[in-house]
Structure 1
Amino acid sequence: MGATTTEFKAKTLDGQKKTFLSLTMTNDDQLRIYTVLHAIPRGFVTSYGHVATLAQLPRGARQVRRLLSQLPEESTLPWHRVIRADGSIAFPQGSPSHQRQKK
């Protein structure tokens, strides 16, 4: 299967459509994970396992974690809204990612 590029778009406050992320995906699993991630509302968190379940990847929590760890730094997908099943943050305490996810 070849790679495909998918653009995630949103409307700006003035009604213009803007691409906020363009990702090259090599399989449908990635697209489903990114789609679920994009749908997590501000103010909410979910677990890696729940993202996997919603993306139709039972027992795919590690796959979700690995994919999110490979997001480009400029990604605006809300990766910081995904936490461990026990509610803890998956990053080393004091790291920039830990601080962002803690907010």
Structure 2
Amino acid sequence: MTFSNRISKNKTLQSQRIIPIIQRKSQSKLIPFQGTIDYKNIVLLRKFITSEGKILPRRINGLTAKQQRHMAKAIKNARMIGLLPFINKSQPSQ
């Protein structure tokens, strides 16, 4: 049986693997958020949406996953109540 040979080949392949270390470029992120997220705090919520009214992704705004979920829910609640617009109509349409 060549079963034992197969194991030794896999071990030699694993020892020769080189894993490169890739350094990520630092992106300009917003100031880390500290405080409570509330749908009534429009000044705070406007910092986390684009000029078009879209919610900024987590990799840009620097929030944790839990904070991003709460921020998205607060923005959506504020939109439903009418405190934030769904889209920004001041932009000229093309």
Q: Judge same fold: TM > 0.5, yes or no.
A: no
Give the TM-score, by structure 2 length.
Answer: 0.30
User: Higher RCO, 1 or 2 (CA under 8 Å, sep at least 6)?
Assistant: 2
The structure carrying a bigger strand percent of its residues is: 1
What is the TM-score with the length of structure 1 in the denominator?
Answer: 0.28
Q: Please tell me whether Structure 1 or Structure 2 has the larger radius of gyration of its CA atoms.
A: 2
* Higher fraction of helix: 2
